[in-house]
Amino acid sequence: MPRTVTTYVCQNCGAQSRQFFGRCSACGSWNSLVEQLSAPPPDKRRRRVSEAVAEPAPRRSEAIASVGERSVQRLHTGFAELDRVLGGGLVPGSLVLVGGDPGIGKSTLLLQTAEALAQRESVLYVSAEESAQQVKLRWSRLGPAATGDGPQLLAETDLEQVLQELEALRPAVAIIDSIQALHDAELASAPGSVAQVRECAAALQRLAKRLDIALLLVGHVTKEGMLAGPKVLEHLVDAVLTFEGDRFASHRLLRAVKNRFGATHELGVFEMRDRGLLEVSNPSELFLGSPEGSVGMATIVACEGTRPLVVELQALVSTTSYASPRRMATGIGTNRLHQILAVLEKHLGLPLSRFDCYLAVAGGLDVEEPAADLGVAAAVVASFRDLALPAGTVLVGELGLGGQLRPVGQLELRLQEAARLGFRRAVVPRGSGVTCLDLAVHEAGGVAEALVVALGVNPADDA
Ligand code: TYD
Ligand code: MG
C-alpha cells in the first residue's frame, strides 16, 4: 500500500508546503493552511519516454497555417445578456465558471439557462446542493415552457457518479451547481477544500473536453470575496463570470472577468423577479434617477466593456463637526474621491477640507473608471454651491492632478448612448474631436473651465 504523506495546502491560493506555517509563504494570507493527506509522488525511477532508448515517436505537431479550422456554432442561452457576456453565446466544449455570493441567484440563472438550452440541445443539470425536489419546485416556479421535458436533472455530490452520468448521457451542455459541493471519494480532504475543488474541476474538464460538452460550473465566493480555490480554477477554465448585486436591490450584474472567447468586462444586467431572472436590455434607465436635475447631482456615462451606461452620481457636502472631515463613497473608490477633492481645493480654491463629503452612485453600480472624475467633481461642487446642473447634461472626463482634463476612450459610444436617452449637452475633454449630431458637445481643457460650462456659473467665485 502506498505510504501517504502530509502536505499543507493554502485554501486561498493552493500553494503546498510540507510544513505548517501560520502564514502562507506564497500569498501571505493568515491561517489558510490546511493539512491534507495525499499519495506520494510517482516513482522517480520511471523514465520518461524521451529518455528511453526506443524508436522515436512519429511527429505530431503541424504548421499553424495548415491547422484545419472548425466553425464554432455558439449555443444561445436564452438570455441575450448572458450571450453577450460570454462573447456571443456558449462555445461548445468550453468550461465556464460562474461565481457569486450565496443567494445572489446563480442557481436561478443557470436553471433558466438550462431550460432555454434544453429546447434545442440535451442538457444535464447536476444539483449537488439541493435535492431533486427542491430543484423541481424552483423549476415549476420559474414557469417552464409548455413544450418539452426540460433539462435532465441529477442530484448527486459524488464526482464519480457525475462523471458516469456525463459519459452515459453525453449532453451538449452540463451545469454543475456547485463545484464546491462535489467531492471526490478518493481524496481525504473535505468537500469545498482547494484540493477537492481542483481535482473535481480537472476531472470534469478532462471528460468535457473529450466529449465536447460545454460545462458551466457554479462557484461560491468566500467570506473574503474570493472564489474558493480561485487561482486553481481561474487557470483551468475558459471563462470566469461573476454574478453580483445588492441584496436590497433587485437588479443583478453579470460580468466576465476572464474570457477566452470574447471581451472581458462585458456586463449583463438582470432583474430578480418573483418568477426568476428577467434581463434588462436598457440598463441606463436603472441607474438614472429623476429626469430633472437636483442639487448635488451629476450624470456621467460609464463604459462597462463595450457597453455604455448612463449613471447618476449624488454628492453631499456639509460642514464638518470632526477634526478630520468625513469622506464616504459608495460605488467609487474613496481614494479617488480624496484625490478629486484635493484637485478642486487646489485649482478652484474651494475650502473643501473643512467639509464632510459623501458620494453615491445610483443603483449600486461600481464605477471604477477614471472617466467618472469630472462627474464626481461637478456633483461635489454643485452640492457645495447649492446648485443644480442644468437638466440634460452629461459629463465625461478624467481629472489630472494638475487640474487638466484627460481624454477618455470610447467617447463616441458614450455620447450616442446619452443622446439616445434624451441628454442634450455633454462636457468632454478638449481634443476629443467627437461630434454627436443630437448632442451639443462642449470641450474643456481643465476642470475649472469644464465646471463653468457645466454649471453656467463660475464655482470659484464667492457665492
Ligand atoms: P439562488 O439562485 O438560490 O441563489 P444562489 O444559487 O446564488 O445561492 O437564488 C436565491 C434567491 O433568489 C432567493 O433569495 C430567492 C430569490 N428568488 C426570487 O426572488 N425569485 C425567484 O423566482 C427565485 C427562483 C428566487
Ligand atoms: Mg444555489
% of the chain with per-residue pLDDT over 70: 90
For a ligand 1 pocket test, name from 106, 108, 113, 175 the mutation site with the most ligand atoms within 8 angstroms of its C-beta: 108
Q: How confident is the model at residue 80 (pLDDT cuts 50, 70, 90)?
A: very high
* pLDDT value for 39: 61
Distance between Cα 241 and ligand 1 center (Å): 18
What pLDDT digit, counting tens, does each position of 291-304 carry? Answer: 566 899 999 999 88
Closest-CA residue, ligand 1 atom 21, reads: 276
Q: Which of 54-63, 339-348, 365-374 has the lowest mean pLDDT?
A: 54-63
Could you tell me the pTM of the whole model?
A: 0.76
Closest-CA residue, ligand 1 atom 13, reads: 103
pLDDT at 7 over 90: no
Q: How confident is the model at residue 68 (pLDDT cuts 50, 70, 90)?
A: confident
pLDDT, greater one: 376 or 304: 376
CA distances from residue 370 to 275, 358, 377 in whole angstroms, order as listed = 37, 18, 12
CA distances from residue 318 to 68, 156, 381, 384, 425 in whole angstroms, order as listed = 66, 57, 11, 7, 28
* pLDDT value for 231: 60
**Residues 189-199, mean pLDDT to the nearest whole number:** 80
Closest-CA residue, ligand 1 atom 9, reads: 105
* pLDDT value for 223: 57
Distance between Cα 235 and ligand 1 center (Å): 28
* Closest approach atom of ligand 1 to CA 138: 24
Round to whole Å and give the CA distance between 352 and 390.
23
Cβ atoms within 10 Å, residue 179: 29
Cα angle for residues 425, 306, 81 (degrees, 5° grid)? 110
Round to whole Å and give the CA distance between 16 and 218.
25
3-state helix, strand, coil in the chain (%, to 5): 30, 30, 45
Distance between Cα 225 and ligand 1 center (Å): 19
Q: How confident is the model at residue 90 (pLDDT cuts 50, 70, 90)?
A: very high
* Amino acid residing at 407: P
Closest to 423 measured CA to CA, from 267, 268, 285, 251: 285
Q: How confident is the model at residue 75 (pLDDT cuts 50, 70, 90)?
A: very high
Are 219 and 196 spatial neighbours (Cβ–Cβ below 8 Å)? Answer: no
Q: How confident is the model at residue 22 (pLDDT cuts 50, 70, 90)?
A: confident
What pLDDT digit, counting tens, does each position of 98-147 carry? Answer: 988 888 899 999 999 999 999 988 999 999 999 999 999 999 888 765 56
What pLDDT digit, counting tens, does each position of 306-349 carry? Answer: 788 899 999 999 999 888 899 999 989 999 999 999 999 999 99
Q: How confident is the model at residue 3 (pLDDT cuts 50, 70, 90)?
A: low
* Closest approach atom of ligand 1 to CA 243: 7
* pLDDT value for 292: 65
Closest-CA residue, ligand 1 atom 1, reads: 105
pLDDT at 188 over 80: no
Closest-CA residue, ligand 1 atom 25, reads: 276
Residue holding cell 495525499? 38
Helix (H, G, I), strand (E, B) or coil at 66: helix
Q: How confident is the model at residue 19 (pLDDT cuts 50, 70, 90)?
A: confident
Contacts of 8 (CB under 8 A, 6+ apart): 16, 17, 18, 19, 20, 21, 33, 34, 35, 36
pLDDT at 426 over 90: yes
pLDDT at 1 over 70: no
* pLDDT value for 47: 55
Q: What is the mean pLDDT of the chain?
A: 86
Question: Which residues form ligand 1's pocket by a CB distance below 6 Å?
Answer: 100, 102-108, 138, 141, 272, 274-276
Closest to 191 measured CA to CA, from 165, 228, 145: 228
**Residues 219-234, mean pLDDT to the nearest whole number:** 64
**Residues 222-241, mean pLDDT to the nearest whole number:** 70
Closest-CA residue, ligand 1 atom 12, reads: 105
Closest-CA residue, ligand 1 atom 2, reads: 105
Cell numbers at 232, concatenated:
486553481
% of the chain with per-residue pLDDT over 90: 43
* Closest approach atom of ligand 1 to CA 178: 6
For a ligand 1 pocket test, name from 270, 272, 274, 278 the mutation site with the most ligand atoms within 8 angstroms of its C-beta: 272
* pLDDT value for 224: 55
Q: Ligand nearest 243 Cα, by number?
A: 1
Highest mean pLDDT of the ranges 210-219, 251-260, 453-462: 210-219
* pLDDT value for 45: 54
Residue holding cell 442561452? 77
What pLDDT digit, counting tens, does each position of 243-272 carry? Answer: 888 766 778 889 888 899 888 778 888 998
**Residues 205-219, mean pLDDT to the nearest whole number:** 92
DSSP 96-140: EEEEE-TTSSHHHHHHHHHHHHTTTS-EEEEESSS-HHHHHHHHH
Are 428 and 396 spatial neighbours (Cβ–Cβ below 8 Å)? Answer: yes
pLDDT, greater one: 238 or 54: 238
Q: Ligand nearest 106 Cα, by number?
A: 1
CA distances from residue 18 to 9, 12, 15, 24, 40 in whole angstroms, order as listed = 9, 17, 11, 12, 12
Round to whole Å and give the CA distance between 445 and 434.
15
* Closest approach atom of ligand 1 to CA 129: 6
Count Cα neighbours of 32 within 13 Å in the Cβ-side half-sphere: 21
* pLDDT value for 417: 86
Give the chain's count of helices (H) and strands (E).
10, 21
Round to whole Å and give the CA distance between 379 and 370.
15
